[in-house]
Structure 1
Amino acid sequence: MTAVPFSKRDDAKTRLILAAELLFAQGGIDGVSLREIASAAGQRNHHAVQYHFGNRETLVQAIFDFRMNQMEPMREQMLKEARRGGVLQDARTIVDIIFLPQLKLIDAHGDHSYANFLCQYLLRNADTEFGRFGGYLPTHIAEALALLRGRLDFLDDEAAQRRLITACFMFLNILSAHTRDTAGHRVDEAFSAALDDTLEQIVAATCMPLVRPIADQQPKKVSRA
């Protein structure tokens, strides 16, 4: 197992988080041993993950929390600018605040491994309550999600959460595809153009009116004689 390159300022817990994120992105959350993660993080103690985090699920949550907190300063600035510009209720502005900070999350190899990790995390932790993803959300992402929920006030929580999860996968796919295509030298479209198109798709899909009331969409029971 090749050790992951780190900054000299990274402590043991941060190194384990970054190594786990990269390995989980490559091999799946359940496809990598805790010992492999410790080795990739440069830890001589094979039980370093258990020592610092206790178990796999706590480590997974720590990765999510670590990245969410990293994005808070950028989201805070974007919220301030939107408030000054009077566009806090604009759907595209809200979507940008929620998703664009993820562009800054680059791993030690210059890839968006967090995008692959987050896809798996969402499948494990998605709740039916809007904006719940398995743990506490920091202030500014919580505010951005609350603004989006206000735009989706015509939906119940379960439907709004379903659209939010769909939007997340749409955005994460463009990051994963960009990393994959760049590595394979298959980039034919400017990433900025593809990104903008994806964000517009997210706005359209997330905020579209209901085709018919949710109550009418339940499958009808067939009575049997």
Structure 2
Amino acid sequence: MQAKEKILLAAERLFAERGLDVSLREIAVAAGQGNHSAVQYHFDGKAGLIDALYAHRMTPLNERRRELIGDLRARGLEEDLPALVAAYLAPLAEHVLAHPGTSWYLRFTSRYVLSGGYRSWPYSSDHHPGVAELAALLRRRLPGLTRERLRVLNLHIVVVLADLEQRLGDPAFDAGRARSAVADLRLTAQALLTA
């Protein structure tokens, strides 16, 4: 594993566990970097590190979301609310389910969002074009859908999946319970949009 990837993974875990006040030096040490300026060197500071962390995770997640959008369009489901909601949350849920006990991404994202990191999250970042495309489809399906309701939808999805990510670290919490939690999340997300 390259130094940059070690730093990204260490930062993701530390940010998830302790919040964004973790020092760059602590991240370098956790990544096994003898040079305590390694994070500054590779990422030009904490803002660059966070942006790189989102790019590292969101690129494949966004590609998956775009696949799902293409599938919706091919099947003529652009106005089917359950299908839209499923496409909206599936990439993140799939990520969590595929990395039981080893993923920190949703917990990091939850902390970052709740800290005010993205003031207009998730619409201001280049890392989220699939989310923006699905938001447009949701607005077409639900013409009264507000930006605030979409923000609440994202918060709901991220926080619930962060909790699921945490619970998957417990060996007693099995894959069946995790899949059931994702199915319930799909229903609550749909209800949130139509409430």
Structure with more relative contact order (C-alpha pairs < 8 Å, separation 6 or more)? 2
- What's the Cα RMSD here? 2.6
Match of 1:125, SS state, is coil
| Corresponding position of 1:163 | 149
| Corresponding position of 1:203 | 190
Q: 1:25 aligns with which of 9, 16, 23?
A: 16
> Quick one: structure 1 residues 73 and 166, their matched pair in 2 at CA, closer, same or farther if it must change by over 3 Å?
same
Does structure 1 conserve the Cα–Cα contact (< 8 Å) formed by 2:100 and 2:169?
no
Does structure 2 conserve the Cα–Cα contact (< 8 Å) formed by 1:112 and 1:176?
no
Gaps of 5+ in 2: none
- For residues 39-78 of structure 1, what are the structure 2 equivalents within 5 Å? 39-78=29-68
Indicate yes or no: 2:76 matched with 1:86.
yes
> Quick one: structure 1 residues 103 and 112, their matched pair in 2 at CA, closer, same or farther if it must change by over 3 Å?
farther
> Quick one: structure 1 residues 139 and 17, their matched pair in 2 at CA, closer, same or farther if it must change by over 3 Å?
same
Provide the TM-score with structure 2 as the length reference.
0.83
Which stretches of structure 1, 4 residues or more, deviate above 4 A after TM superposition?
106-109
Match of 1:183, SS state, is coil
- In the alignment, the residues of structure 2 paired with residue 64 and residue 116 of structure 1 have an alpha-carbon distance, to the nearest angstrom, of 13
- For residues 1-225 of structure 1, what are the structure 2 equivalents within 5 Å? 8=1, 11-30=2-21, 32-105=22-95, 110-123=101-114, 124-128=116-120, 131-133=122-124, 135-155=125-145, 160-185=146-171, 187=173, 190-208=177-195
User: Aligned letter for 1:199?
Assistant: R
- In the alignment, the residues of structure 1 paired with residue 94 and residue 29 of structure 2 have an alpha-carbon distance, to the nearest angstrom, of 26
- In the alignment, the residues of structure 2 paired with residue 39 and residue 96 of structure 1 have an alpha-carbon distance, to the nearest angstrom, of 39
Provide the TM-score with structure 1 as the length reference.
0.73
- In the alignment, the residues of structure 1 paired with residue 75 and residue 23 of structure 2 have an alpha-carbon distance, to the nearest angstrom, of 48
User: Aligned letter for 1:48?
Assistant: A
> Quick one: structure 1 residues 142 and 13, their matched pair in 2 at CA, closer, same or farther if it must change by over 3 Å?
farther
> Quick one: structure 1 residues 170 and 140, their matched pair in 2 at CA, closer, same or farther if it must change by over 3 Å?
closer
Q: How many residues are aligned here?
A: 192
Q: Which structure's residues are more often helix, by fraction? A: 2
- In the alignment, the residues of structure 1 paired with residue 157 and residue 32 of structure 2 have an alpha-carbon distance, to the nearest angstrom, of 32
> Quick check: 182-191 or 92-101, which moved more?
182-191
| Corresponding position of 1:223 | none
- Among the aligned pairs, what percent are the same residue? 32
Q: Give how far 1:108 is off.
A: 7.8
Gaps of 5+ in 1: 1-7, 209-225
- In the alignment, the residues of structure 2 paired with residue 97 and residue 193 of structure 1 have an alpha-carbon distance, to the nearest angstrom, of 17
Q: Give how far 1:202 is off.
A: 0.8
